[in-house]
Amino acid sequence: MRLTTKGRFAVTALLDIALRHGSGPVPLADISERQKISLSYLEQLFSKLRQRKLVNSVRGPGGGYRLAKELGEVSIADIILAVDEPIDSTQCGGKENCLGDSKCMTHDLWTNLNEIIFDYLGNITLETLVEEQNQRELQREQAVVKLYDMREAAF
């Protein structure tokens, strides 16, 4: 599978928006700054994401982007496919012409891997990733409180 920065950045940007779900539209400039992704690159990605109806744009002051669907309705596979990122481990693009006009000995292996990857990414939603991020943040906060309590007990 060749997952390029296009797919990775699209997932990252939509997760950024998902983490702010319900807080109004998120400007691309804010995503660019937080995630260190070029603004012009984000504009290209969001054009595709908007065409695939994964995001809606809001114009004017306070404008930006918001998710067009609920968090649990947007899979990672949806995002990757929306930006024209193929989920394909084969060398032939699934055309079965790996060896000129015939398929190679390992073609079925890579095709099966594609299916497993697609199923895996199709079962992970933005909701799942938001929950994981929130859990990590809670664990960080608990660690800070514990460290503070330990310092207080030492003095």
Q: What is the pLDDT of residues 94-120, one digit of tens each?
A: 778 877 788 888 888 988 998 999 999
Residues 64 and 100 grouped into a single domain:
no
**What is the total count of domains within the chain?**
2
pTM of the model: 0.83
> Tokens representing 89?
């481990």
Q: Using CA atoms of 83, 87, 89, 92 in order, give the dihedral in degrees to the nearest 10.
A: -70
Residues 44 and 63 grouped into a single domain:
yes
> Tokens representing 104?
């190679």
Q: What is the pLDDT of residues 32-59, one digit of tens each?
A: 999 999 999 999 999 999 999 999 999 9
46 contacts 67 by C-beta, under 8 angstroms = no
Residues 47 and 96 grouped into a single domain:
no
* Residue 89 pLDDT grade (very low, low, confident, very high; cuts 50, 70, 90): confident
Domain end point (choices 65, 86, 107): 86
Residues 9 and 79 grouped into a single domain:
yes
Residues 48 and 116 grouped into a single domain:
no
Tell me how many degrees the CA angle 17-118-122 measures, rounded to the nearest 5.
45
Q: How far apart (Å, rounded) are the C-alpha atoms in residues 34 and 37? A: 8
Its domain, for residue 112, covers 89-124
Q: How far apart (Å, rounded) are the C-alpha atoms in residues 38 and 49? A: 16
- Give the domain CATH number at 48: 1.10.10.10
Residues 59 and 29 grouped into a single domain:
yes
Res 30: pLDDT? 97
Q: How far apart (Å, rounded) are the C-alpha atoms in residues 33 and 52? A: 25
Residues 102 and 57 grouped into a single domain:
no
Q: How far apart (Å, rounded) are the C-alpha atoms in residues 53 and 78? A: 10
Residues 78 and 94 grouped into a single domain:
no
